[in-house]
Structure 1
Amino acid sequence: MLKDFFGKKKKYASIPSEQGKMDVPEGLMKKCEGCHKIYYRKEMNKNLNVCPNCGYHHKLTAWERIDSLFDEGSFQEWDQYLISNNPLGFPGYEEKLENDRIKTDLNEAIVTGKGEIDGQPTVVCIMDSRFRMGSMGSVVGEKITRAVEKARKESLPIILFTASGGARMQEGVLSLMQMAKTSVAIKRFSEAGGLMFSIMTHPTTGGVSASFASIGDYNFAEPGALIGFAGRRIIEQTIREKLPDDFQTAEFLLEHGQLDKVIHRHDMKQTLTTLLHMHQKGGDSE
């Protein structure tokens, strides 16, 4: 019996073998993309998907991030039922959208709404890279614009969490138009005295990085996040130079003055809480 017990334990640990893969229940374990250690998925989830060993920040879903930041029961989602259509008749696009809706339980690549962070009412937009790689189509741009407009009308701060591969090619120029649309809405919001936090997570690239993601009053990022417009290979081929190994990482951008701070996920809520209270007190004293 003792031999069987240890045999079973060894069998479960033998993940590289085909038999081992069959024995480990699907979804029970998670391998760190940074140090390649293996953890129980529940253990990783409790740690906000940050590796306990190397600190690698794995992706969070939009709702996991909401749960980690907002006071319990305070979040109200906006524009949940807005969905994309297929304006260009792109082959297979509608099927891909439907598959992502089923896979993610989201209607689009962003969740917007209002909630409270330590009692402070705040508008938030959170992109989810599981849905079409977080690409920005017409609905993503529309939801951001509506959220920014509501924040302006209600005199509330807004927080944008970005995670995107850029503009959505299946919607062509309609996707590219969202860069200007969202940026103009934020400009109006800023002119009205609004406060915006932009937090770039892995990855924030393409048209998203070149528009609303880069124009916050505070521009933050999570550790190790890839942030940039064009890819490394394209840039190297264009300028015919070898780029630094850490090029387009959050740490590289911070060093070169393009970010205000790189914030560990465990410190995110406290940092935002402190800044929200600071600006609220500043506004009350005027």
Structure 2
Amino acid sequence: MNNFRQAATAGEFLITAEVAPPKGGDIAHMLEMATCLKGRVHAVNVTDGSRAVMRMSPFAASVILLRQGIEPVCQFACRDRNRIGLQGDLLGAHALGIQNILALTGDPIKAGDCPNARAVFDLEAVRLLKIISNLNHGLDGNDKPLPDGAVDLFVGAAVDPQSKSRSGLQRRFEQKVAAGAQFFQSQLISDFDILDKFMHQIALSYQKPVLAGIFLLKSAKNAEFINRNVPGVEIPQHIIDRLARSAQPLKEGIKIAAEQVQLASQLCQGVHLMAVKREDLIPQILDLAGIAPLTTHMPRLDRPPVKVRG
């Protein structure tokens, strides 16, 4: 049973969150953080070498979560495996019960902790999406029939609504839809006017769920670090000042994230929450935003998006 796919198809407001596999053999912290999200998110993203940092295999981590009754979205990055390895891992993921896939190009090697490693990049996200579409139709990457049957994967892609190139953003988004992307999770959103324009001018006509990336800022220093080190993201100065003025910046960050969830709920079909080692705070963010646990009915998003100001 794929609850995330069912909710997406039904038009529910989608909630996902991100956890990183451990950098070592102890899975306790990952399980503790993911377990906090039970009943509050439709699925938990398991990262694949995010920022080119070596961690446990996302496939192994996804299976561990499945065994705990937590539905994963398993990320697949093209950086570390060629098309043979990627297809083999996709077939294996399907066999292990992993159905939700996020197809990514992958962060550059130089950004991570193994700068002397050799990148592969045999594929990038659009071509990986096409291969997954092929596998879903019983074909391999060479358009040859799979003798042992098709897979059934619910595949998504990343999108950056704050990209400085609007034409490039639209072209890439359309390519990913054409290649088979069935949902989109966005990079960190700091400007909701820009998200509004992206939804109205590009995304809405394609009727694919878009989940806005919401990041828990823990302090002004944390926000400044993101501005310096995350390309394409600019946390507004008024947010940094608000965190700096607060006697309890983490609580202020929770409030800011909750406000952003409310803004996103007026514009798109979901949110993707990133709290980096504090996933246990995500239920507080959702409570403050007025998002009920998933055990209660979640309304369809039939209302038209509205303009967000300020």
User: Per the shorter chain, which TM-score range?
Assistant: 0.3 to 0.5
Tell me the TM-score normalised to structure 1 length.
Answer: 0.34
The structure, 1 or 2, with the larger RCO (C-alpha pairs under 8 Å, 6+ apart) is: 2
- Structure number, greater radius of gyration: 1
